[in-house]
Amino acid sequence: MKHVSRNLLICLLTCIFLCPSSVFAASALQKGATELGGLAAIFAVLHERETHYYRYADPAGPIEKHFTPLGAFDVAEMKLPAAAPSKSITIFYPRKLPHEPLPLVLFANGTGTPVSKYPEVLRHLASWGFIAVGNEDGNVRTGASMEQTLDAVLAEAGREGGPLYGHVDSWNIGIAGHSQGGVGAINAVTQQPSGSRYRAIYAASATSSFWGQDGKLGADWRYDLSRLSVPIFFVAGTGAWDAGTATGREATSGQGIAPLWSLHENYAATPASTPKIIARRKDKDHGDMLRAGDAYMTAWFSYWLQGDAEAGTAFFGKAPELAHNKHWQDVEISIPSENLQIYP
């Protein structure tokens, strides 16, 4: 039994470091803890590092450092009941709401990863003066549940006597998505009736077009960036699950979830008139990217939705911080609407 337990321990510890989904790793640890009581402590440490991920980050640039910790606002949350596909909606907002309406950011979930699995990410954004919203849909790729969620939140914001009444800027909205959620975020903007309300997109490790082919995951996973007219920021990791080894969509093996060729393809497919950025985080993989780009995601929305010019220095000008950050590579930036230099 001692040898079995040792082998299980090795397996579970390997899961922590190699599994593309930290949520899956946590689940595996929790199950293993039943047999190996000592693993409960490891699970607690993992939970602490996920819940307070920003405490363990290693930001390099001034803007990244600024937006890594929690912001100035204490955060409250509320839930709205919802039918399928959203199932349930969770709203995070500053507990003491200012008089002026706040921008709204929706989060599109990765596969099987409802917002209840990563509330700390939305809580972090809300602490910076946003109203952050997610749902329990684990299959958001068409953007349909994001449309349903947006409708529900705007209805709540218009309900007299409700905590959000008069506090949501209904035409200053962003959307973020991870993995399948990256597909869902793009489709929410380009395919859904309320797409024109969105002002910025952040797509982390968005599933590549390879997986949307017939015979792979199918048409539901496709997205058309040629229809996009709002700023978009694509990020991915250099780890094996994101990067793979394939160098193009035509490869039949070695395909990652969000490889470099996909970032280049998405960048090229986005109209030249649309502000766009691609970047990869060194030594991070698919599951990590839900949190690893968090500071720059916050800066991105702070610029486009809050008008924070200082936050914009992370992305704009002749020497954008993102392009010179030691943790990031493969950075390409085009912000034509601002008449700024394209990098590189």
DSSP characters over 121-183: HHHHHHTTT-EEEEE--S--TTSHHHHHHHHHHHHHHTSTTSTTTT-EEEEEEEEEEETHHHH
* pLDDT, greater one: 22 or 210: 210
* pLDDT, greater one: 31 or 149: 149
Specify the amino acid at residue 328. W
Q: What is the Cα Rg of the chain in Å?
A: 20
Q: What is the pLDDT of residues 25-54, one digit of tens each?
A: 455 445 555 555 667 777 788 788 888 999
Asked if residues 203 and 186 have their Cβ atoms less than 8 Å apart, the reply is yes
Mean pLDDT within 321-344:
82
Specify the amino acid at residue 297. M
Instruction: For the full predicted model, state whether its pTM sits above 0.95.
Output: no
Domain boundaries, the chain: 2-51, 60-338
Instruction: Name the maximum alpha-carbon separation found in the chain.
Output: 67
Q: Can you tell me which residue has the tokens 């998505």?
A: 177
Neighbours of 20 (CB within 10 A): 20
CA angle 193, 171, 112 (to 5 degrees): 55
Q: Can you tell me which residue has the tokens 């394939």?
A: 246
**H/E run at residue 13:** helix 2-18
- Percentage of the chain lying above the pLDDT 90 cut: 80
Q: Can you tell me which residue has the tokens 């749902």?
A: 135
Q: Can you tell me which residue has the tokens 């975020």?
A: 185
Is pLDDT of 165 > 70? yes
The rounded distance, in Å, linking the Cα atoms of 284 and 293 is 10
- Strand-strand pairing, 131-135 and 102-108: parallel
Q: Which two tokens stand for residue 239?
A: 């780890």
Per-residue model confidence (pLDDT) at position 15: 46
Architecture of domain 60-338: 3-Layer(aba) Sandwich (3.40)
Q: What is the pLDDT of residues 224-276, one digit of tens each?
A: 999 999 999 999 999 999 999 999 999 989 999 999 999 999 999 999 999 99
The rounded distance, in Å, linking the Cα atoms of 123 and 131 is 9
Q: Where are the beta strands (DSSP E) in the chain?
A: 75-81, 88-94, 102-108, 131-135, 168-178, 198-204, 232-237, 276-281, 328-334
